[in-house]
A = this chain, B = another copy of it.
Amino acid sequence: MSFFNSKLRYAICAAIDLAMQPSHDACQSREIAVRQGIPGPYLDQILAALKGAGLIRSVRGAGGGYNLARPADKITIADIVRAVLRTDRLFSSFSEEEPPDLNAPGVTWIVRDFEEQIEGLISSRLASTTVADLVNRKVELDDSLSYMPGI
């Protein structure tokens, strides 16, 4: 079991890739695909989803490409997940639709309630992490690895 699927991972990678490019020049999907090792046509689908959610902008035609639609610190991972899933909530909520049976919340209800607590945990982490955070993390790691004192 792993938490993200490949589509989600690709989408996040693509967003980070765009965030790391010098701004204002549009990035072609082909370049992103090569840099990040994502199958070209599959990436196109993913970029379409990101665009549909307004996270990236595109310029069509020759010399066109993609750009982030907002600063990287205004795009959360939760935004990306929602975009790829084409939904406006991360998890299908249950307790709102099915309030506990008065006098007898079934065992099932208890389990779903617990499940939603975990989902809440996940959601808040996804919503509090931005693309910029991940870019920073990469830069930090790059620095700490290339500067090796004593070598």
Contact = CB atoms under 8 A, between A and B. Distances in A.
Interface of A: 1-4, 9, 12-13, 16-17, 20, 36-37, 77, 85, 87, 90-92, 94, 100, 102-108, 110-115, 117-119, 121-122, 125-126, 129, 134, 137-138, 141-142, 145-146
B137 A91 contact: no
Nearest to A108: B13
Contacts of A110: 16, 134, 137-138, 141
A112 B94 CA distance: 29
5 contacts: A1-B91, A9-B108, A9-B112, A118-B126, A121-B122
Contacts of A20: 107
B118 A3 contact: yes
Q: Is the interface of A mostly helix, strand, loop or mixed?
A: helix
A115 B134 CA distance: 11
A147 to B, nearest CB: 11
B122 A118 contact: yes
A108 B12 CA distance: 9
A2 B134 contact: no
